[in-house]
Amino acid sequence: MSIAIIAPSRDVTVLRDHLRAALPEVSVDIYPEIATPQDVRMAVLWNQPPHSLEQFPKLGLMQSLGAGVDHILSDEYLRANIPVTRVVDPQLNIGMCRYVTMAVLNFHKNLYQHLRAQQARKWTGQALVETPVRVGILGMGVLGRAVAESLLQLEFEVHGFSNRPKEIPGVQSYSAEKNELGAFLAHSNCLVCLLPLTPQTRGILNLDLFRKMPAGAFLINVGRGAHLVEADLLRALEEGELAGACLDVLEKEPLPPEHPFWTHPGIVLTPHIASVTDQQTAAQQMAENYRRLLRGGKLINEVDRKRGY
């Protein structure tokens, strides 16, 4: 029996070594060097090439290398009855809390204007002290909730939007079930997208949504690039609906060299590094899922394939 890691764009040797250490009796290989495809029971996946899973007749579990599973579920050659699990890890929460806090504080403290003033050797004095911030978090799952709690520690006002209603101390909660997106947006001038990418959330960050927020709002997208309609962001920045955006995820990664986002003065880009799976800690939960798969136990962090997250 064996495990295949298919993550062509990532260096996963640390993960392989920790899986081998946790499961010494199991062979763990990195795609495309899979020694015995007919023995593979679990595949650890990040953007697997089309058809790559077809070579594993005994595949029993698809484990995401990250928190998101859209890259697995979008594979048109996926078999229907194989469970999908994902990473939920305190390390991932910490990385995301730090990234979003950094981006919220940059907006709050007007850092981008101060950097531009510095480049122009302009001392703005106390003309630009703080922008009042009301954070709205789209997606109040594992990461959204952790981010909300860390922003509350800094005394920010926090609003949260999810599919189903939530009760989270200190957070004003709104839900899709109660049709409260409009009210949520009206109360938020710093929008953090921490949604999973599903057919319902694709393109959700569009002009119509930006217009429901107070003018001059700020966007932080750490969900997926395809949540954002890129042309609508450019228009919203031009029209002043949005004051700026911090984007960690892009529709096409790596972002093509000719893309207008590279040089837009209102956009800050990072290359999908908001929070990166810790391969050492994640290997432990993957190894446990492998053991559970073999003995028929309940899997850890299984996603609902119908819901898509």
| Chain residues in the site for ligand NDP (CB under 6 A) | 66-68, 92, 139-144, 161-164, 176, 194-198, 200-201, 222-224, 248-249, 272, 274-275, 309
Q: Which backbone phi and psi does 283 adopt, to 5 degrees?
A: -60, -30
Least CB distance to ligand NDP at residue 279 (A): 14
Pairwise CA distance, residues 44 & 217, whole Å:
38
* CB closer to ligand NDP, 116 vs 164: 164
Respond yes or no: is residue 295 known to be catalytic.
no
Choices 62-70, 76-84, 207-215, 282-290 (CB under 6 A): range interacting with ligand OXD? 62-70
Least CB distance to ligand OXD at residue 262 (A): 21
Tell me the residue nearest to ligand OXD as measured from the CB.
66
Sign of the CA dihedral running 33, 309, 96, 284: negative
Least CB distance to ligand NDP at residue 5 (A): 18
Identify the active-site residue in 272, 291, 292, 305.
272
When asked if residue 225 is in the footprint of ligand OXD (CB under 6 A), the reply is no
Q: Which of residues 277, 279, 285, 289 is near ligand OXD by CB under 6 A?
A: 277
Respond yes or no: is residue 272 known to be catalytic.
yes
When asked if residue 68 is in the footprint of ligand OXD (CB under 6 A), the reply is yes
* CB closer to ligand NDP, 60 vs 308: 308
Contacted entry of ligand OXD, ligand NDP, none for residue 140, CB cut-off 5 to 8 Å set by kind: ligand NDP
DSSP track, the chain: -EEEEE-TTS--HHHHHHHHHH-TTSEEEETT--S-GGGEEEEEESSPPTTGGGG-TT--EEEESSS--HHHHT-TT--TT--EE----HHHHHHHHHHHHHHHHHHHTTHHHHHHHHHTT---GGGS-----EEEEE--SHHHHHHHHHHHHTT-EEEEEESS----TTEEEEETTTT-HHHHHHT-SEEEE-----TTTTT-BSHHHHHTSPTTEEEEE-S-GGGB-HHHHHHHHHHTSEEEEEES--SSSSPPTT-GGGG-TTEEE--S-SS---HHHHHHHHHHHHHHHHHTPPPTTB--TTTT-
* CB closer to ligand NDP, 2 vs 162: 162
Contacted entry of ligand OXD, ligand NDP, none for residue 223, CB cut-off 5 to 8 Å set by kind: ligand NDP
Tell me the residue nearest to ligand NDP as measured from the CB.
141
Q: Which of residues 12, 16, 66, 138 is near ligand OXD by CB under 6 A?
A: 66
Residue 268 bridge partners (DSSP) = 246
When asked if residue 85 is in the footprint of ligand OXD (CB under 6 A), the reply is no
Least CB distance to ligand NDP at residue 201 (A): 5
Q: Which residue has the tokens 């005994």?
A: 58
When asked if residue 279 is in the footprint of ligand OXD (CB under 6 A), the reply is no
Q: Which of residues 67, 72, 103, 220 is near ligand OXD by CB under 6 A?
A: 67
Contacted entry of ligand NDP, ligand OXD, none for residue 188, CB cut-off 5 to 8 Å set by kind: none
Identify the active-site residue in 224, 235, 305, 307.
224
Give the Cα-Cα-Cα angle 117, 264, 226 (nearest 5 degrees): 135
- Among 242, 20, 297, smallest CA distance to 112 is for 242
By the criterion CB under 6 A, which residues form the site for ligand OXD?
Answer: 66-68, 277
Instruction: Tell me which residues are annotated as active site.
Output: 224, 272
